[in-house]
Amino acid sequence: MATRHREDTVLEAKKSKVKPPPMFKVLLLNDDYTPMDFVVAVLQKFFALSREKATQVMLKVHREGIGVCGIYAKDVAATKVEQVKSYAKQHQHPLQCVMEEN
């Protein structure tokens, strides 16, 4: 990080000691019962994905068993996981969502 003084002269270059926060992947897990349309709607509602991108992520999870919805700071990721699980439960679908440090 450059420290600038009078006349905008660079006097020294200091290394920032502030580490970026650890980031967490939010992952959806496949199951045999949750409707594909519901998963697409969840990805649009909670992860702000377009219908096209949400469909791609849903199909990846359907085919491969797991897929990334997004990458967030810890508290944001934890909130998204709870929102998805709660919404799925309300609608009586077994959709599972987990987080994992990146």
40 binds ligand TYC (CB under 6 A): no
Q: Which is nearer to ligand TYC, 37 or 75 (by Cβ)?
A: 37
Q: Which of 24, 26, 27, 34 binds ligand TYC (CB under 6 A)?
A: 34
**Residue whose CB is less far from ligand TYC, 24 or 27:** 27
For residue 98, give both structure tokens.
């987990």
Residue 53 engages ligand TYC in binding (rule: CB under 6 A): no
Which residues does residue 21 pair with via DSSP β-bridges, in sequence order? none
Q: Using the 8-state DSSP alphabet, how is residue 91 labeled?
A: T
Residue 30 binds to ligand TYC (criterion: CB under 6 A): yes
Residues 10-29 that bind ligand TYC (CB under 6 A): 28-29
d(CA 95, CA 43): 12
Query: Which member of 25, 31, 68, 98 binds ligand TYC (CB under 6 A)?
Result: 31
Min. distance of Cβ 44 from ligand TYC in angstroms?
Answer: 14
Nearer to ligand TYC, 76 or 96 (CB): 96
Task: Using alpha carbons, list the distances in angstroms from residue 80 to 2, 10, 18, 30, 53.
Answer: 37, 43, 26, 17, 18
Torsion region of 8: left, alpha or beta (phi above 0 gives left; psi -120 to 50 gives alpha): left
